[in-house]
Amino acid sequence: MTQKIILLTSSTGPALDSALQTFGPSASIAVVRDLETLLAVPVDQDTSLISFGTGVIVPAGFLASLAKPAYNLHAASPEFPGRDPHHFAIYRAAQTYGATLHLMTARVDDGAIVAVEMFDVRPDATPDSLLAEANRAAVRLLERCAERMLDREPMPELPDVGWGPIKTRRSDFLRLCRVNALITTQEFELRRRACASTAHTNLTAELHGQIFRIDQAAPVDERLDEFSEFTEAGFLKILRQLKSADYRFVRYGAPPSGPHVIWRHDVDISMNRAVRLAEIENQEGVVATYFINPRSCFYSIFEPETEVMLRRIQSLGHEIGLHFDASAYVTKTWTADALNAAVRREQALLETLLQSPIRALSWHNPDQSNLLDFQDDEIAGLSNAYSGALRRDYVYCSDSNGYWRFKPMGEVIAAGHERLHLLTHPDWWTPDAMSPSDRITRALLGRARRLRDDYDRRLALAGRRNVGGK
C-alpha cells in the first residue's frame, strides 16, 4: 500500500532531501509550503501529515479531518517551545539542546511529546550553529521514528517529559533584540551573542521613537590621543611622580614644612570613580581629601550605596570634606553670616551621615557667585581650600572640565615648587581614554544602570512581574 504523506515544511536543499529519502521512493509525498495550499490538498484515511521547519499553524478542523495522527518536528529541545528557540537557548546558557517530536495540535508546541534527540551544547555555540545541529537532530528523529509516525495509532507519550514553562513568541525575540543605553556591558554582550545571525541584523536600539539596527562595533576615535593622560594609568603616573620628587602628602590645616602637596579631589559626578582613585592612592601610601557635595544632582549622600562608598574612602585613610554648591541657593551675593550658616547646615548633614568630623571646605563653581571674595583661612570653622594664603603661597593646578587648567600637572610637579595645591576630579580618570563629554555620559549611564538594576532586583525579591523588563 502506498503511503500518502503531506510534508508541511519551508525547508529546502539537503534537509528536505533527507526527509524525502527517509520515507522511501514508494511513498506519495506532497510537499506543502503554506496554509492555503495545505487546505487544498485532498485527504483520506491513509493520509499522514508531518511538519517541520515551518511557522504554519494547522487549524483544528483540518487536523480533525485526518484519520491518522499528525506530527511536528520541533528543532529544539522540550525546554524551549515556541519561536526562535535557538536564540533563547544561547541567552539562557543551555547546556543541552536537541529536537522534539510531538503530536500536532492546533496550538504551537502543545501536543504530547513522543520522542526527543538531545546533544551537548558546545561552549562556542552560536544561534546559527545551534539551529543547524538541532535540524540534524530532527533528521535523526525522523529517520528513527518514520515508520511509526505513519501508523494509525499515535506513538506513546514519553513519561516525565514535558514542554518548558516559557513558550516564546516572535514579539519576545524582538524584545530580546532591543537594547537601550541602560543595559549593562554583561547583559549587552549576552544579548549580542544570543541574537546573532549571519542572515539578519537582529540587535536594535530605540531612540526617540525610531528603531536603529546595530551591525558593527563602534570605530576607534583616533582623536582620543589628546585625552590619553586622563586614565587610571595616568593618575598612577602622577602619584608616583610626586612620590619620586619626595613630596609629602598633607591635609588642610597642617603646618607647612618642606616640600609637600595638598592633594584634593572634588567629587562632582561619579562616586564610583572617587572610590577607585582612593584605592589607587591607598596602594601607593598616599592620602587625600575628597570633597563631597550634599546638594549634587549626580549622586545622593542619602543613598545607602553612596554612604557605603564614602565609608570605603574613609577606611582607605582619606578625609571627607564639604564641597559647597552655591547654585543650590537663590542667594547670588553672599554675606559672611549667610555663608557661615549655610556651610554649617551642610557640614552637619555630612557629619550626621558619617558620624565623623568634617574639617575642610571647597567651593563648587566659585566663579558663579562672590564666593572667591571670602579668603579667610577658615569659614565656619572649616579650612578654606580657596583661602588667600593657599592662593598666594601654593602653586595650584587643576583638571577642571577634563583638561589641564593653566599647565599640565606633570609639568607643575617637574618644576620643583616646594608647595603644591593640586586638584583632580575623579570623573575624568577612567580606565581607558575618553573625551570629557563621553566620560560624563559614562558616569551618568553607570548611575542610571545601577538604579535600573536596583528596580529589577526589588521586583524580583518581591515576586512581582517586571512588565516589559528583562
Of the pLDDT bands very low, low, confident and very high (cuts 50, 70, 90), residue 221 is low
* pLDDT tens digits, 405-449: 888 999 999 999 999 999 999 999 999 998 899 999 989 988 898
Measured CA to CA, the distance from residue 54 to residue 343 in angstroms comes to 71
Provide the CA 171 distance to its chain's centre, in angstroms.
21
Please give the model's pTM, rounded to 2 decimal places: 0.72
The grid coordinates of residue 331 equal: 542667594
Residue ranges and CATH numbers for the domains of the chain are 4-149 (3.40.50.170), 171-217 (no CATH), 229-435 (3.20.20.370)
Alpha-carbon distances of 165 from 58, 109, 131, 162, rounded to whole Å: 22, 11, 21, 9
- Whether the pLDDT of residue 1 is over 60: the answer is no
- Whether the pLDDT of residue 162 is over 90: the answer is yes
Inter-helix orientation angle 185-194/170-177, to 10°: 130
Of the pLDDT bands very low, low, confident and very high (cuts 50, 70, 90), residue 28 is confident
Q: Which of 48, 2, 43, 44 is nearest to 26 (CA)?
A: 2
Q: Are 334 and 369 in contact (CB under 8 A)?
A: yes
* pLDDT tens digits, 36-89: 999 999 999 989 999 988 888 999 999 999 999 999 999 999 999 999 999 999
CA atoms within 13 A on the CB side of 303: 15
CA–CA–CA angle 334, 339, 340 (5° rounding): 155
Measured CA to CA, the distance from residue 337 to residue 319 in angstroms comes to 26
